[in-house]
Structure 1
Amino acid sequence: MKNLIKPNHLQSGDTVAFVSPSSGLAGEEFVSHRVELAKQRMENIFGLKVKVMKHALDGIDTLYNHPQYRAEDIHDALLDDEIKGVFSFIGGEESMRIVPYLDENIIREHPKIFMGYSDVTSIHLKFYKAGVMSYYGPAVLTDFAENVEMDDYTIKNIKKVLFTNNTIGNIPTSNYYRKFGLKWSESNKNVSREKINNQTYEVLSGKGKATGTLIGGCFEVLNNLRGTEVFPNEDAFKGKILFVENSESQLPIYFLKQALRSLGYMGILKNIEGIIVGKPQNDENIKEIKETWIQVLKEHHLEDKILFFNASFGHNEPKCILPYGVVATLDAEQLKFEINESGCS
């Protein structure tokens, strides 16, 4: 079992950095109001000061053409003694381009909270390879800049995971999810996104309990990273709880099926202790996705593997935070997902 370095927790008055490790969207004028709103909420809700890193607002074209700028911002944030946490503005589609520029020694020698989701999975796996815990959780432009108000579920999970060194404990699903699709134009800033009633976890296979350390991310990104230096080998998945969720640009169902079969062929599905899958955004293709997971597990004679569905993380608002490397338990009888240790030191 790989023991990751656990960063120190945040306190009111700390400074956190905003970075753009994937898309440079945060630097575009039409979302500038969301950048400012997120900064205000960091201070007003969490008591945090914000330092926007040098290149984080350079814009889409510049950051696409200069991936090393994005890596430099992460390095500078980690090396800055004033900064205690690093938050991603948003995901995108090519964060893997900055992975070769990231220095594992800097990551390892200056362990700090690094949080984001979606395409930022590439960066999380680089932190994992370096031996440092990171956090699959809210992004600046999506969650901290939610229209009208931040979701209480998200706020509570941030405080529970990042602001204490207490055991995280039970993580229920949110009792609602927000409908995706409202444009981010400033004219919509006072329009609250629709809340849709949500259900608790659904157990698609398995009985009893499964315990292991967390590893995973956005499924599409994980699929693209297979064979790269940051994708763990099959043995690294032994004793793990795999957490995965689909992006807003889902793989076609036939492609998802083949990708899951690949994980089976590689021995990963056999090696893991259990699986927890995030709710698909807007419940898109939910029936087909569930059927595909069940089918592929059956093909590999893994019908007894515990598989939870409908978790509130990733491409859903509100969302919880999943720290890489913490011990977690899936209880199929009680429909409970628990993290059995703290998320921070």
Structure 2
Amino acid sequence: MPARGEARRQRAGRRAAGRIAALPVRPEIRAILPPWGGERAIELLPGLDFDALAGLPPKWIAGFSDVSTLMAPLTLCAGWATLHGPNLMDLPLKDRVFGNEALQAALETGMPPAQEPHGQYWRWDAPGRQFANRVRLLGGGAGKMEGRLVGGCLDVLASLQGTPYFDLAAFKAEPAILYLENCELAPCGVLRALAGLRLSGTLDGLSGLVLGRSGAQDAADGEALRYQDALRAALDGLPYPVVIDADIGHVPPQWSLLNGAWAVLEVFGEGRARLEQRAAR
């Protein structure tokens, strides 16, 4: 039996989960834009009736990081388009202005605009400094991919593999592009998460894989596994293009990606790429 304080927290958590799970079905709510957070969002999934949601008019749900736990299943299980873009608390930040503009365009027109990598990006551990964009193919060269977009934060989506909430089998009836971005996983954690997705079959049958810039510290020890080595160890030999260091996730600026949209991503080399999204092929 849990201690009294823990029991109170559990009851409060269940009440909060019930209120949050009710948001998508309330007709007066037209959009859901979480502030930040959501580390326990996985606990909401069993309380969502995805079959019922599939029959309701969809509404905008936008954000990134932990909210991927809700957005990817809403796309895969209920057929809702969900927008991987700024969270509410990101909107005032100067280094998120490009993502905010794409978010506004998506909300107004139903689709993000064509987007290219920005020339520089910023890092949380180096305020005031800008770094040259390095979006490229794993292994180098140029390439192109087309398919339906789905994805989000690797840290949380890796925990959904093998569940009905992250089953890409039906989604892959059309060509599909999976995108993922790392928040906190160390290189060995990235390797394990990606290798697990590969072993489970999640990475089979895709037309492309897109990885955002990692938000975690790379290994400092010269003998330790580094981030790029982790990617190669987990992903070498995949029969489709793998894009790395894309403008996605916890290292701004970021693209806005519409889960469920048909996307065409071309990578030209030397940090140059172009992403277009539309409703139909």
Please indicate, yes or no, whether the TM-score normalized by the shorter chain is above 0.5.
yes
The one of 59, 79, 98 equivalent to 1:131 is 79
State how far apart, in whole Å, the 1-side matches of 2:128 and 2:54 are. 39
- Show the counterpart of 1:175: 119
1:326 Cα deviation after fit: 0.7
Q: CA deviation at 1:242?
A: 1.0
- What do residues 177-210 of structure 1 show as CA deviations (whole Å, max 9, x unaligned)? 333269xxxxxxxxxx524233142111475321
1:276 corresponding residue in structure 2: 210
CA contact (8 A) 1:241 1:276 kept: yes
Out of 96, 108, 113, the residue aligned to residue 151 of structure 1 is 96
Q: TM-score, normalised by structure 1?
A: 0.67
Hey, what's the Cα distance between the residues in 1 that align with 2:152 and 2:111? 24
2:276 counterpart of 1:339:
yes
Cα offsets for 1:275-321 (capped at 9, x unmatched): 111111276459922222223333xx32x521111222221233221
Question: Structure 2: which amino acid aligns with 1:341?
Answer: R
Deviation per residue, 1:1-38 (Å, 9 max, x gap): xxxxxxxxxxxxxxxxxxxxxxxxxxxxxxxxxxxxxx
Unaligned runs of 5+ in 2: 1-7
1:244 to 180, 191, 206: 180
**Cα distance in 1, alignment partners of residues 147 and 219 from structure 2:** 29
Q: Tell me the distance in 2 between the aligned counterparts of 1:197 and 1:255.
A: 25
Match of 2:45 in 1: 99
Amino acid at match of 1:173: P
Instruction: State the match for 1:42 in structure 2.
Output: none
**Is the 1:180–1:282 contact (alpha carbons within 8 Å) kept by the matching residues of 2?**
no
CA distance in 1 between counterparts of 2:11 and 2:69 reads 16
SS state of the match for residue 254, structure 1? helix
| CA 1:121–1:71: 2 relative to 1, 3 Å | farther
C-alpha distance in 2 between matches for 1:309 and 1:159: 26
Aligned 1:24-39 pairs, distance under 5 A? none
Deviations 1:16-70 (A, max 9, x none): xxxxxxxxxxxxxxxxxxxxxxxxxxxxxxxxxxxxxxxxxxxxx9699424424
The more displaced of 173-182 and 130-139 is 173-182
Contact 1:121 1:218 in 2 (8 A): yes
Contact 2:122 2:253 (C-alpha < 8 Å) held by counterparts: yes
Q: CA separation in 1, counterparts of 2:125 and 2:234? A: 31
CA distance in 2, matches of 1:290, 1:254: 11
- What does residue 297 of structure 1 align with? 235
Residues of 2 paired with 1:320 and 1:207: CA distance? 20
Question: How many matched pairs?
Answer: 263
Unmatched tracts of structure 1, length 5 or more: 1-60, 183-192
The answer on whether the counterparts of 2:137 and 2:143 sit within 8 Å (CA) in structure 1 is: no
TM-score by length of 2: 0.80
SS at match of 1:174: coil
C-alpha change, 1:327 and 1:229, in structure 2 (3 Å) is: same
Q: CA 1:168–1:196 in 2, change beyond 3 Å: closer, same or farther?
A: same
RMSD: 3.0
User: Aligned with 2:203: secondary structure?
Assistant: helix
Matched, 1:317 2:255: no
Q: Deviation per CA, 1:199-244: give whole Å up to 9, x if none.
A: 1421114753211111111111111112223011446446211100
